[in-house]
Chains A and B, each alone.
Chain A
Amino acid sequence: MDLSGSQTRQTIITLGLLSGALILFTGAVGMIAAFHEREIVRDFITLGQLVLLITPFIFGYTAANRLGMTGEAPIVVLGGGIIIGLLTALPTTIMLLFNSDEFRFLLDWALRLAPFVLATAIAWRLYRQNVETLTVIGSWLLVAVLLGIVTFSLALIFEVKGELRSVLVNINRDWVEVVTFDHRKDLMRGIFIFSLASVAAGFLGSLCYYVPRTPRRALFYGLSVTLLVGAFGETVRLVLQENLERDTLNQLFRRDTLRGNAALGLLVVSTVIGYLWAAFGDRARQGFQNLGGQQRQTTGMIGTVLFVALLLMLPWLIGRTLSDVAVTIGLFVLMGLGLNIAIGLAGLLDLGYVTNYAVGAYILAVMTSIGPLGLMKGTFSFWMVIPIALLAAMFAGFIFAVPVLRMRGDYLAIATLGFGEIIGKLAISDWLKPLIGGAQGVQAIPKPIFLGTELKNPEQLYYIVLVACLITLFVSIRLNNSRTGRQWMAIREDEDVATAMGIDTARAKLLAFTLSAATGGVAGAIFAAKVGSVFPNSFTVFISINVLSLIIVGGIASNPGIVVGAVVLIGLPELLREFSDFRFLLYGALLIMMMINRPQGLIPTKIVTHEIRAGVKAKAAAGD
């Protein structure tokens, strides 16, 4: 195999090690073992195993794409896939050996040798760069001593603690079980199988580069649909339960997992559909674009009507459990749309959005509760308090906005974060206990009553949330195109220029904060009514971060983006319980990756995309 080009070698090694590090990391934080609990296809593959296999596959494909682009021979490209597979397995294999009783001594030796090897490597690099000899020796000593301290401490920790597991809690039996494909007893065999699977996945990934475009896309569609249906087996089953006979269902599913033959059938069907779409989809889109304005408008109208009809019928289609999830998603859409006014339109990074949510929830709780803390004892109904909660939240938004009007960017973000924390601490304090119950919160909040029926099921509450979302959406679209919206955008771009243009920035910012607070209050009030009680623990910084993440991921200032962001970021962890432990880990990673690779979000607006491009161009022009 010819791997002479250093560029080629570097690509393969970097991607391979990255993939390996990813596998080891997901294992060490417990993701792989947790995901193993969820079977995608019965007796065939679990989500944990899928992660193990899909990582080398994707990295193999990426490497093949890069190498193929530079015109490497197929043998190099495919060989690269194999090497990536091997490198993917390497870190995890080393960890497996360290973890086993027989090869424990390897860990000790590695810790003893690491300082010298690494120090020598660094010194060698410096030497090659023609650094003075004295400096090279000095840096060798420094690195060796510092690393020596670390490895000595690590050796001490593992010596005293015994097993790796007592420090790294997730390097445990479950993890070994998964990565060795159930060969924990026979470790060597397990490692062999794991490496082989990883190599095969890497090889297949690089092979995919040579599959023609249309079948490749078809296969991609088919596999993703099958894997998604499998992973969300529970959800899909719940949906189908509403609409299918029990016997038919049992042929497709066994409890919550897809049966093998059902999965195969689904794969074939979705691949065929995917093939048709890949082959003729472009032509269909072309045809749509060739339609006259009138016809296009009609098609668009029909689409909208169908979509609204679907939204209206959703609770019947998906059943109770999923309606509950839909309500949660709806609440976050509501908050996302609200916060978007501040962040997306006016560019004010508000990290204390939870304040408004808490105000809304507590107002509703105190006003309607029939428990000891209720002020009105049932004289006020849900419908009367919703506007009060809205106004109260707007008032809170106003009050908190006044002091921060002069602040910009990052200072504003930290100050609002401070507000959020203050509210949290006040809610739990003894000081306000007589009013809002301290840590015990407020209980006995009655459900809303609409035309004599008590709306106690999520299917019914769903409509309240839906209506609130639609109203907010309408207002937000109108605001976006209004004079105020333009003012906000001007402030977002450059506050000084906006002032110079004669915009009253203080007024515009105040308006943005106040309006953005309103939906937070409504969401809080609906949340309180849904749960039936309010605890201070529900109002942490995590709410603010959740809302922020869904805006960023969906696309700043983009309404469809926010809906998609909410469905993905809120819905996913609710539906895949295995995800919920790693929710903020993934959010964090997602925020970093989005900011680096796609700052405009998944579904960006034209303006934001344009601005980011313009920014990049300006940066390039400035030579930075």
Chain B
Amino acid sequence: MAYEKINECFLVTDLYYSVEDNTWVRVNDDGTVTVGMTDVAQSLAGPILHARSKKPGTARKKGRPIGTVESGKWVGPVKSPVSGEIIEVNEELESDAQMLNRSPYYKGWIVKMKPDNLEADLADLVTGEAAVEAYRAKIDKEGITCTHIEGTETPEA
């Protein structure tokens, strides 16, 4: 899986990103999408203590929370980057919320969704080189350097 590293922040280049909300979308072969939070998001939050997701069957408009994440210093919503229905939640996060820190793009996925209008929603996100450039700008502007807890998985090149 191709990835970039900007100021220690990993970015998997084949995902679609909402740079503002620090979330990503993976388009699955069956037309569903997997959603999670970025390495930048986990780094800003610090070691995560609890993650709660909305239940399967919940309809979400883009921008509304699919769940909440809390650390010792931060709490907030994870905003859905697409509109659609939540069809599956990552139940492992309930017992091991720091999976979000250790593997934000893989084992730490948050929900799977059946999107309502994927093409239109993806057009509002960035991917590939555009995502790298957008994150580079954000990371520079906000002076972010990502930190990682023990056991963090590096995305495979």
Are chains A and B native binding partners rather than an unrelated pairing? no
